[in-house]
Structure 1
Amino acid sequence: MKLIDKYILKRYLATFSVMLLLFIPIGIVIDISEKVNKMIEKKIPMLDILIYYGDFTVYFANLLFPIFLFLSVIWFTSKLANNTEIIAILSSGISYQRFLKPYLIGATVVSVFALLMGFFLVPKASKGFNDFRYQNLKGNAQTRETSDIFRQIGQGEFIYVSNYNYLSKTGFNFVYEKFNDNKLEFKIEANRIKYNEETKKYTLYTFTKRTIGQLNDKLESSEKEIIDFNFEPDDLTPVVYVAETMTIGQLYQFIQKEKAKGNANINTYLVVFYKKFSLPISAFILTIIAVAVSSMKRRGGMGMNLAIGIVIAFTFIFFDKVFGTMAEKSSISPLAAVWFPNIVFGFLAFYLLRNAKR
Structure 2
Amino acid sequence: MNSVAPELSFGLWEHVSLKHIEEKSVMPSSNWAARAFQKTFTNVFQPRGIHARRRRRRRPVQRISLESLEPRQMLSVNPAFSGSSASSANDSSSIAAFVSQNTIGILSTVSNSPTSVVAVSGNAQLAVTWVAPTNTGGSPITDYLVKYSSNSGSTWTNFVHPVSTALSCTVTGLTNGTSYVIKVIAKNAVGISLPSANSAPVIPAATVPSAPTSVVAVSGNAQLAVTWVAPASTGGSPITDYLVKYSSNGGSTWTRFFPSSGLPVTTTSCTVTGLTNGTAYVIKVIARNAVGISLPSSNSAPVTPLAAALTPTFGSTTATATGFTVQITNYNAAYTWAGTATASGTVVVSGTGFVTVSNVAAGTS
Larger Rg: 2
Q: Which structure features the higher share of strand residues?
A: 2
Normalising to structure 1: TM-score of the pair? 0.21
Q: Which structure features the higher share of helix residues?
A: 1
